[in-house]
Amino acid sequence: MQTSSQPLPQLKRGAKDYQKPRSGDVIDQRFQIVGRPLGKGGMGTVYRVMDANGAEFAIKRLDPALREEKRFEKRFRLEYEAAADLKHPNITGYLDLFEAHGALHILMELVEGVNLRQLMKDQKVFPVGIAVGIGRALARALEHLHAHRVVHRDLKPENILLGLDGTIKLTDFGISRVEYAGITRTGTLLGTPRYMSPEQLAGKKGEEIGPESDIYSLGILMYELLTGKDPYRLRKKAEILEVINIRHNLTPRPLPNEIDEDLRKLIMMMLERDAQKRPSDARWIGQELGRWAESRKELKLSLCQYLERYGGAKGPARPMLAPKRKEDPLFRSEDATEVQGEELQHFEEPTGGRELLPAFLLALSCLLILWGFGLWSKRPGAKEHIPQSHKASVVGSPPPMRVAVQPAPQTLPSVRPGQAPSPVLKKSKRRRARQRKKLSAHKRRSRKNRRKRNKRRRRRRRGKRR
């Protein structure tokens, strides 16, 4: 792979160069796009590609429409220059910068996994050992960056990749600042406001923003990993003016008491508003965090367990996909055999009885309708309807028999004239008479109470008038 950062020749761009690449397209006659884009940022789109040997990489493509403005192209080149010389296990490797089809491309190391933001959505609060272990790995990456005079300036969960094998990678150096090639002007805000340091929010020059800014972003990230909340309780989509107002008028909320006191002091020290009071040595931060972090082996095992839902271990290499729009002899398969149309007629796709499903559903619906009609005809109030034609066809048949419905037996015995009523009947009469008396007494009391209330109301009215 080429690692030179020399200026590339400017090619003539036509209408076809602005078409978005799709799965199967070949870039620079070396790499073939596989599947959908992995992500899209402010300046470009990241694709999964495969070379002729079957090795997979990631390619970041600058939108050709943005090349019309020189500042975007310059920033894209500076991103490669900032990361090309960085070789660290916790930093994504940048392999090559080339131009093809009227667009700039950066060839990068492919990390199979998800970013930290996706994991934080499922796991709101992390155990102390895992959260501090992630922070220690990022502190090591920042130590390597700062040793090469590079300030990331955009440390956030979206730019931290977690591999399915438990690796932690820091990526996206799109707005990083190299000391010898700063292009940020005063008053320009670059980055995510939620994780920006106070000096970044103040719009200072790039030269005035040092390693302390990355330490501040790391402190906010660790606060969220331990508590699941922002230290200033900011909304997820807070505007820049709201962030500036809160950062300059409020102090971060203290961490829970369940966390070790020394660890709380260290994180609150990283969140100091004044950059001079904030630690600037990422190596010292990593050593201090090692007191509470899990070992590297245990951290990898824990992250693999968290990431099992997203895939698991990487399987065998997938076969090369055939190009859809562009044919290149480099990606043609020599052993491919063509199947003639006559041979395809002998192969029929097994249906598994799917063609009988409509008929089965129709028969089932007919049976349900008949069953429902039978239940409706046998309901208690239904009358049997005999057609007139049927009655006329039957001559000399005896009329249908009518069955008299016997009344239900009375619970009380009937009293004949001249016979004394039974004791049961006397008791029921006395009970009904008592109930009538109680009801009449209740009515009389209610009328009496109503008259009293009316008298009291009249007296109150007369007193008010006087």
3-state secondary structure of 50: strand
84 domain residue, yes or no: yes
CA angle at residue 32 from 30 to 38, to 5 degrees?
A: 125
> Does residue 218 share a domain with residue 69?
no
> Does residue 132 share a domain with residue 25?
no
Give the model's pLDDT for residue 287: 95
Among 274, 290, 310, identify where a domain stops.
Answer: 310
Among 79, 110, 141, identify where a domain stops.
Answer: 110
On the question of pLDDT at 83 being above 60, the answer is yes
Q: Distances from the Cα of 235 to the Cαs of 99, 238, 243, 352, 409, in angstroms?
A: 40, 5, 9, 53, 78
On the question of pLDDT at 439 being above 60, the answer is yes
On the question of pLDDT at 6 being above 50, the answer is no
> Does residue 202 share a domain with residue 191?
yes
338 domain residue, yes or no: no
CA angle at residue 119 from 113 to 125, to 5 degrees?
A: 150
Distance CA 49, CA 1 (A): 15
Among 256, 291, 310, identify where a domain stops.
Answer: 310
Distance CA 323, CA 344 (A): 23
160 domain residue, yes or no: yes
How many domains is the chain built from? 2
Q: What are 299-346's pLDDT values in tens digits? A: 999 999 999 887 654 443 343 343 444 444 445 444 433 433 443 344
340 domain residue, yes or no: no
> Does residue 131 share a domain with residue 80?
no
- Give the DSSP H/E element, type plus range, for residue 48: strand 44-50
Give the model's pLDDT for residue 424: 58
Q: How many CB atoms lie under 10 A from the CB of residue 203?
A: 14
pLDDT class of 376 with cuts at 50, 70, 90: confident
> Does residue 266 share a domain with residue 168?
yes
DSSP-assigned beta bridge partners for residue 170: 91, 160
> Does residue 207 share a domain with residue 288?
yes
Cβ atoms of 140 and 90 within 8 Å: the answer is yes
Pairing of strands 177-178, 160-163: unpaired
Q: What are 29-70's pLDDT values in tens digits? A: 899 999 989 888 767 889 999 999 999 999 999 888 777 777
Distance CA 18, CA 103 (A): 8
Give the model's pLDDT for residue 322: 38
Q: Distances from the Cα of 86 to the Cαs of 146, 166, 220, 356, in angstroms?
A: 11, 21, 25, 63
> Does residue 229 share a domain with residue 156?
yes
> Does residue 59 share a domain with residue 125?
no
> Does residue 297 share a domain with residue 236?
yes
> Does residue 133 share a domain with residue 99?
no
> Does residue 120 share a domain with residue 103?
no
Distance CA 88, CA 86 (A): 6
Q: Which residues are catalytic?
A: 154
400 domain residue, yes or no: no
48 domain residue, yes or no: yes
Domain that holds residue 51: 19-110
Query: What CATH number does residue 30 fall under?
Result: 3.30.200.20
335 domain residue, yes or no: no
Query: What CATH number does residue 276 fall under?
Result: 1.10.510.10
